[in-house]
Each structure stands twice: as structure tokens, then as C-alpha cells.
Amino acid sequence: MLRERASADRQQALRSAFTALLPRGNVEAGLSEGYEDQVVEATKIREVVETLRPHYNEYKVDALMKIIDANNHGVIPFRDYQAGIQKILHTSLRSARQESRQSLLLSSLTVFVAITNLVYVLLLSSPLEFLLLSELIFPVGSVIVFLGLAEVIMRLRPCSCLSSLSTARHSILDGLAIFAGIISLTGLIMHVMNNSKGLQWLLLGRAVGG
């Protein structure tokens, strides 16, 4: 009994909403003869959809309108309205992330920095002594540090000019990357100041960043 009453109330609500969308002349003259011959403009339905889903963009609204006006007739009879509006109310759309060229470049930079940093740390922590590479320790480390910081800054998108870089963001990992960059920069500054512990700080930062 309650289910039948709820269904009847829902149908009455749909008819009342349909009536509200009709031109005034149709309401006064036509509804007494039944709803089947009445039509409502698709633009009116679209306004309702935009009101119900204010966070939906134009493409999502278009997708919902296809449910109720698949052939794009511009007018919607009551039967199509009755079936379609309920589907619209129970449909939730999600946007797929679209990878731009900038995003792909940033993803490639992320992979490059990660691999380069890993190789750098493995070589310098190896028991073998790479005497021939000793002069390249700080230059190569500096490049990796600045590339890593640039990569995480672009991924965090602190300003609107980087809004097109739609890559995944992980707060903990990004925080570690920034922390590692600060440690490495400290090591580079110490090296410039002829502090012998600069290498230790540089390697510690790169180990954390790895």
C-alpha cells in the first residue's frame, strides 16, 4: 500500500513538473484533454537539468539531454519526458581525465627523474670506487635536484598557468620529494661553501627522493 502510494505521488510530481514547463496557453486549454498530446520545449528541460546539476559542464548536460531527446527534435512529448526524466535524475556522469601533450611530457619527466636519481644513488653508494666520475658527482647531482624540484612543482600546479598539467597528485610522495629537494639543495650550498659534509647531505636528499 505504501509502495503504491509512493509511486502515485512520484507520478503526480512528474506531471506537476511537466505542467510547470508548458506554455501558459497549453496549461489552461490542453491539460483537461490529457497529457499525451502535450509537448515541452527541450530548452526548458535543459534549464532544469542545469539547475539540478550546477557542477556539470556543457558536455555532461548534452549527454543527459540525449537520454530524453535522443533524436534532437527540440520538443519532448509527455511520454518521453516521463521515462527520460527519471533516468536523468538517477544518472551520474564522471569525466575521464584527458591527457594533454604537456601532461605526457610531465609524465615522461617524472619517469626520467626517478630512473636517473635511482642510478645516481646506486652508483655512488656502490662499494666500487668510481674515481673517474668523482668530478661529476655535484654537477650531475645538481641537475637531478633541480629537475626533480621542477617536476614536483609542475605536478602540484601552484599557479593557473600550469592548470593543463593533469597528472596524478599524491600528497605524501610530493611532500617527500620537496623535502628531499631541500636536503639536496642544502648539500649543494654546503659544497659551494667548501663544507666537507655537503656530499653527505646531497646523497641523503637523493636517497630520500628515490
Q: Considering only 3-7, 51-55, 101-105, 132-136, which range has the smallest mean pLDDT? A: 132-136
CB-based burial label for 102 (10 Å; 0-12, 13-18, 19+): middle
Say if CB 199 and CB 187 are below 8 A apart: yes
Instruction: List pLDDT tens digits, range 99-124.
Output: 566 677 778 888 888 888 888 877 77
Query: Strand ranges (DSSP E) for the chain?
Result: 39-41, 75-77
Q: What is the pTM of this model?
A: 0.44
The answer to whether residue 161 scores a pLDDT higher than 60 is: no
Give the pLDDT confidence score for residue 95 in this predicted structure.
57
With cut-offs at 50, 70 and 90, classify the pLDDT of residue 126: low
Q: What is the pLDDT of residue 170?
A: 54
In this predicted model, which residue has the larger pLDDT, 32 or 7?
Answer: 7
Give me the mean pLDDT over the 8-29 stretch: 72
